[in-house]
Amino acid sequence: MQLTFMPRELLEYSLFPQFYDHSCPKAKEIVKSIVAQAVAKETRMAASLVRLHFHDCFVKGCDASVLLDNSSSIVSEKGSNPNRNSLRGFEVVDQIKTALEAACPGTVSCADILALAARDSTVLVGGPSWDVPLGRRDSLGASIQGSNNDIPAPNNTLPTIITKFKRQGLDVVDVVALSGGHTIGMSRCTSFRQRLYNQTGNGMADSTLDVSFVSQLRQGCPRSGGDNNLFPLDFVTSTKFDNFYYKNILAGKGLLSSDEVLLTKSAKTAALVKAYAADVNLFFQHFAQSMVKMGNISPLTGSQGEIRKNCRRLNNNH
């Protein structure tokens, strides 16, 4: 085929790991070293950076829309229900962007920073590694509606969660493998309180929860107040990327309802929970594959979007 006669807008660009090898050969190293510093300072930052990439990709694709602050033309996704008082890591992304702009101005996108930081974070806390396809560009807008509607909520039913993943081109294996991101990091009391006091409207705790785990959780997550009190998503090894997340679910000690339903609401997801609990290598392999798949959701490429100079603002919006 003679590509010379192909109109530019019909050419398909895809992401590839060597994208910056000539334009910014140190890009990957720079990201890695700043992520390593940030995680050394606070281990939880690894979890926060993994989640940031997820919340970016599920809204208009992996285009760094999640990083834009409010401005005259932008209603920031940072104010959405899943993100408000919850999403973090923005200062680390700023630090990475500043270092990359010093090394190779106008070259490395904020969306690619998020994808690399998620991989580096995973590796730093003991998880699998993968090659990160690169070449994403940054959005010219944000979508708070998308953020509210497209990111699964912890009290969504399993069919709703599966539907929200399907909309992104992700399947049931991706749902279960990527939920394993909850092997690190923290949740606020408000994200799971309903399970402790009134799961089905009958004033009782979620019957799938281990009873001693319920009383333990109630101590830090009272019926009212303490909304922002923090609890590990994996109460056994919350700073280590391993498969305890799945083992906990099998023991009735998964923290979020969305974690627990993977075991009790579908035979297919239950089989995967059991497989990952029994075989950490299988989990790691699937997690890495699914992260690449998630990172490929609707990227802007070629001449679409822009390479932001500051991840919080559009270039023309000084």
Binding site, annotated residues: 56, 59, 61, 63, 65, 77, 152, 182-183, 234, 237, 242
* List 28, 88, 137, 308, residue binding ligand HEM (CB under 6 A): 88
Residue 188 as a binder of ligand HEM (CB under 6 A): the answer is yes
Residue that the structure tokens 């950490």 belong to: 280
Closest CA to 175 of 51, 234, 262, 55: 262
Cβ distance to ligand HEM smaller for residue 127 or 305: 127
Residue 182 as a binder of ligand HEM (CB under 6 A): the answer is yes
Task: Say which residues have a Cβ less than 8 Å from residue 6's Cβ, sequence separation at least 6.
Answer: none
- Residues annotated within the binding site for substrate are 152
Is the dihedral angle over the CA atoms 76, 78, 82, 85 positive or is it negative?
Answer: negative
Q: Measuring CA to CA, how many Å separate 225 from each of 86, 201, 285?
A: 17, 20, 40
Type of residue found at 288: A
Q: DSSP of 15-62, one letter per residue? A: -BTTTTTTT-TTHHHHHHHHHHHHHHH-THHHHHHHHHHHHHHTTTSS
Of 53, 55, 286, 318, which one is the catalytic site residue?
55
Residue 153 as a binder of ligand HEM (CB under 6 A): the answer is yes
* List 59, 111, 125, 184, residue binding ligand HEM (CB under 6 A): 184
Q: Give CA–CA dist 25/276, Å, rounded.
A: 36
Which residues within the stretch 154-173 sit at the binding site for ligand HEM (CB under 6 A)?
154, 161
- By CB under 6 A, the count of residues binding ligand HEM is 26
Smallest gap from residue 258 Cβ to ligand HEM (A)? 4
Stretch that binds ligand HEM, among 134-142, 149-157, 205-213, 243-251 (CB under 6 A): 149-157
* List 80, 143, 187, 199, residue binding ligand HEM (CB under 6 A): 187
22 is catalytic: no
Query: Which x/- pattern, by CB under 6 A, does the window 217-246 give for ligand HEM?
Result: ----------------x-------------
Q: Would you mind telling me the total number of residues written for the chain in this entry? A: 318
* List 32, 48, 132, 142, residue binding ligand HEM (CB under 6 A): 48
Residue 288 as a binder of ligand HEM (CB under 6 A): the answer is no
Range 188-211 burial, b when 16+ CB lie within 10 A, else e: bbebbbbbbbebeeeeebbebbee
Q: Give CA–CA dist 29/172, Å, rounded.
A: 34
Given the rule CB under 6 A, which residues bind ligand HEM? 44, 47-48, 50-51, 54, 86, 88, 152-154, 161, 175, 178-179, 181-182, 184-188, 191, 233, 256, 258
Task: Please identify every residue annotated as catalytic.
Answer: 55
